[in-house]
Amino acid sequence: MTIFQKIIDRQIPADIVYEDDLCLAFRDVHPQAPTHVLIIPRKPLPSLAHANDEDQALLGHLLLVARTLAVQLGLADGYRTVMNCGRDGGQSVDHLHIHLLGGRALGWPPG
């Protein structure tokens, strides 16, 4: 069981900023920007590489939640969404998640 599943199951606390039947969003405990929220599906999907055609609506929903949260969190000047996939992609928890980052100018390239 991943740490994210434990957050979904309320076995460990998190600063939850959004939840619905499909996903949960909470503040990252090691923020990389003034606003850093993780958006995770309730479905235990290890990574984007494990998604299939049946996950299309879920993946779209996660991005729309990111957009909604960006507005709610005051990121009018812009924000970044990041989805790491696999060890070389920087994924550290084997549960698909989207990073929503903002609140400062973000440089490029990111890595």
CB-based contact 23:41 (threshold 8 Å)? yes
Whole-angstrom distance, CA of residue 56 vs CA of residue 87: 23
The residue from 30, 95, 97, 99 that is catalytic is 97
99 catalytic per annotation: no
Whole-angstrom distance, CA of residue 4 vs CA of residue 14: 10
Q: What is the largest CA-CA distance in the chain?
A: 37
Taking alpha carbons only, the member of 99, 110, 103, 80 closest to residue 27 is 99
Q: Looking at the annotation, which residues are catalytic?
A: 97
